[in-house]
Chains A and B, each alone.
Chain A
């Protein structure tokens, strides 16, 4: 990885129900897909500011559930869960999205990956059931920090892979 893309997500509001977050990572598509779908990776990245992760389970198949829980520094538990509707490695997953802190809010989340010249662009679309649901989405610092952690993880995975490659020779 060369470029430092920290804090470089593009956040768009194509209509009153959706939010689309785009960010490019200097890593191959399969690695980026793994970063978003393997529990051992997600555990390291989804808590934006180093919160304690108490649950991180992913059953990556259509109809399978995921559940992520972190405890923020004041002791608040934040729990995210949903069910996979589509699983198409390494390009796409579609899943329902529920955050326990916002009762009655539901969204369908689509993670789409596209690789060009060794860099992979993530398009992360959240489609809320109603406008009231999307109106809850006001703060993006956590999402940026979250994606920064993904970049950091990919960097370390690529560095580790290179080190192993050298050791193998």
Chain B
């Protein structure tokens, strides 16, 4: 994992499969680094490295409880993904509505032939 892969935006941060694994592991709630290491297929240094990138772009937040560091998702930072996907959903919906209109038109035509 080259250190030069600096990530300043959330899209870059989730481009890495290991970082997506970490995010998925945090869906159910706040976890300590050790617990993440136990559950994932990565060593402690690698999990730490990815958590740092995720923290830098704000996708996860960290708080210290005694000597333990707990990480949790920051759902507000998922907004850029929703905004990006929304464009596609809008386009897809428009296309599906056109298909819908076309099917209705076909049915009307079929109805005329039957009579």
The chain A residues found within 8 Å of chain B, CB to CB, are: 47-51, 70, 72-76, 78, 101, 139-142, 145
Contacts and interface: CB of A to CB of B under 8 A. Distances in A.
Nearest to A72: B48
Interface stretch (B38-46, B74-82, B98-106): B38-46
A47 B69 contact: no
A74 B3 contact: no
B95 interface: no
Contacts of B43: 48, 139-142
B20 interface: no
Interface of B: 1, 3, 33, 37, 41-49, 51-52, 62, 69
B6 to A, nearest CB: 12
Q: Which of A51, A75, A76 has the most CB of B within 10 A?
A: A76
Contacts of A74: 33, 47-48, 51-52, 62, 69
B69 A48 contact: no
A145 B46 CA distance: 10
Given A76-B44, A139-B42, A49 B33 contact: no
A51 B45 contact: yes
